[in-house]
Amino acid sequence: MAEPSSAVAPVIELTGARKMYRSGSIEFEALRGIDLLIHEGEYVAVMGPSGSGKSTIMNVLGCLDVLSEGAYRLGGQDVEDLDETELAAIRNQRIGFVFQQFNLLPSLSAQKNVELPLVYAGVPVEERRERSRASLERVGLGDRLQNRPGELSGGQQQRVAVARALVGEPTLILADEPTGNLDSVSTEDVLALFDELHEAGRTIVLITHELEVAERARRIVRVRDGQILRDEVNAA
């Protein structure tokens, strides 16, 4: 895998990032002036306890929420300048999401679940089928195309979710506690898949509260109380 280059814009650039939430007269600051750079091809874990701000970081990076103050640039583009239609296109085409709760539709086959981002993007039927099949084969589920989520193990369901995240060839993969609902064997399978994706040059941001999961990344950003405590290369 190529080393990150400072000659191109970072995939992710947060500058002075602050996020405030209000409920009536109560105000809570979830992010308190975060600066963060992530370059193409990096595998970064954002780690912290519950309430540390890591999920807010995930939502901002995924264009699911906006900052109260500061700036977020995705691939050199200022997200604040984009309207909702443009943000929706970015979420569908440039970012692949993997969540703790799989978020698969139980009535659809694995292949149909993987096709969904392509449906929203208006990709023709035959191309959707070919790309979804290839994406499932890529995660080792080429023999499970027609299985519904209820017919798959937790680890297999998460691999379907990864295949769905990859099918649009996004520049960035955001994984929010992707092993939180998995047993140890399935956790290892999913983390090994992320290792492979990293080696293939994908940019991955993994949100987790577990050190043993974070240590699979090549860089660990530790957050607490809405601030970055440490940002370090993982020597493990």
Q: Look at residue 118 and tell me if it is in a domain.
A: yes
The string of pLDDT tens digits covering residues 17-41 is 999 998 888 899 999 999 999 999 9
Assigned domain for 49 exists: yes
Q: What is the pTM of this model?
A: 0.89
12 lies in a domain?
no
Decide if 14 is inside a domain.
no
Chain CA centroid to CA 108, Å? 23
Residue 158 domain flag: yes
Please provide the average confidence, as pLDDT, over all residues in the chain: 92
**For residues 120 and 131, what is the distance between their CA atoms, to the nearest angstrom?**
14
Asked whether residue 103 is domain-assigned, the answer is yes
User: Does some domain include residue 181?
Assistant: yes
CATH for 169: 3.40.50.300
Residue 145 is assigned to a structural domain of this protein: yes
Q: Residue 92 is part of which domain span?
A: 40-64+88-233
Domain total of the chain:
1
Contact indicator for 8, 77 with CB cutoff of 8 Å = no
**What is the CA angle 26-32-34, rounded to 5?**
150
Tens-place pLDDT, residues 144-203: 999 999 999 999 999 999 999 999 989 899 999 999 888 898 899 999 999 999 999 999
Closest CA to 109 of 73, 156, 155: 156
d(CA 48, CA 145): 36
